Copies of this chain bind each other. A is one copy, B any other.
Amino acid sequence: MPNSFGTLFTITTWGESHGTAVGVVVDGCPPNLPLTAAEIQIELDRRRPGQSDIVTPRKESDTVEILSGLYEGRTTGTPISMLVRNADQRPGAYDEMVEKFRPSHADFTYQAKFGRRDPRGGGRSSARETIGRVAAGAIAKKILALAGSVEIRAYLTQVHDIDMPTRDSFPTLAEVEATPVRCPDAATAERMIARIKEVRSQGDSVGGTIECRVRGLPAGLGAPVFDRLEADLAKAMLSLPATKGFEVGSGFAGTRLKGSEHNDPFAMRDGQVRTTSNRSGGVQGGISNGEELVFRTAFKPTATILQSQKTVNTKGEETELAARGRHDPCVVPRAVPIVEAMAALVLLDHWMRHAAQNLIFKF
């Protein structure tokens, strides 16, 4: 089921950019959870276009409807179906895409795979698909927060060649949301915004990196071998549009250390086994160790640019293409709530799996 994710808390997304609607079905949600559309909407509003002058001005209210799975304001344990209508369909705006493969987009590969594609706004390959993930992730986040005081915080640490200075303290939501670029360091955020505006004026685009930190997670989540926590997080992140890399803890930089520099010594703190450094990024042998979970995801520069590019059309003729209209010069800020949503889905799923194997039958 290529459009489903998770094993116990599962989601199935559907919908195209310019179809009737996009949506998601959440299966396996614990019952009796108080839930309102308004709570879901908060997260959707964070990923919504048109919120600031550095993102696409596409106008979408992205209002969520909950169609099933609730009774008198609480979940019933049955599937929660959620839907967001596509308001801003502009027929004609994508005529050129019907004929020409946009470079570094999915137009050609969808055609190669299926012999057919919905060219309107990228169809299924549009980032609008992530609406369903964010809606489902909002539920997962709420459960994690209620049940385990788990906090998930994603934010930009890099845009183009601008890097945020390293910081130790866990950024607050307010710090992250203080600027549209979602970098908790105010000075860096300002530079990032300037850079994004600059490339936009050039009809160009930039990428960047999102770091995500999670605190409040118990030790023991994850699994040996294939379903390691970092493996499932890597899959979750690389399943997002425009991603090119994932790293946990020390990541690629950690390969340049020696073992004596890299290992995290254990020590006792408040009666708990803890590590005195966290190059592991909160996970050892695929299982959470109770430290902060830390991982980063790389997003390439937006493929859609206003500059003219060489390409090929569906008849196999070489041609040129220049995008028109509304586009994000940098998608990374809007990806922050999506990263958080995917992290929440992975963590809740593993928590439920852990419980099933380890907490019920005690010997």
B32 contacts A363, CB within 8 Å?
yes
Chain A binding site: helix, strand, loop or mixed by DSSP?
mixed
B104 contacts A363, CB within 8 Å?
no
From A112, A143, A310, name the one whose CB has the most chain B CB atoms within 10 angstroms. A112
Contact-residue size bin, chain A (C-beta under 8 Å from the other chain):
35 or more
Instruction: Kindly provide the distance from the CB of A55 to the nearest chain B CB, expressed in whole angstroms.
Output: 15
B285 contacts A118, CB within 8 Å?
no
Closest to A235 in B: B235
- Assembly CA distance A4 to B226 (angstroms): 7
A255 contacts B262, CB within 8 Å?
no
A27 contacts B8, CB within 8 Å?
no
Q: Chain A 279-297, CB within 8 Å of chain B: the 1/0 string?
A: 1110111111110000000
Q: With a CB–CB cut-off of 8 A, which chain B residues contact A257?
A: 207, 300-301
Q: Chain A 162-196, CB within 8 Å of chain B: the 1/0 string?
A: 00000000000000000000000000000000000
What are 25 A-B contacts with C-beta separation under 8 Å?
A2-B227, A4-B12, A12-B79, A13-B79, A14-B68, A15-B67, A19-B68, A23-B81, A30-B362, A32-B362, A33-B361, A77-B357, A104-B279, A106-B224, A109-B220, A113-B354, A161-B256, A231-B235, A250-B300, A257-B301, A263-B303, A266-B312, A266-B318, A351-B360, A359-B359
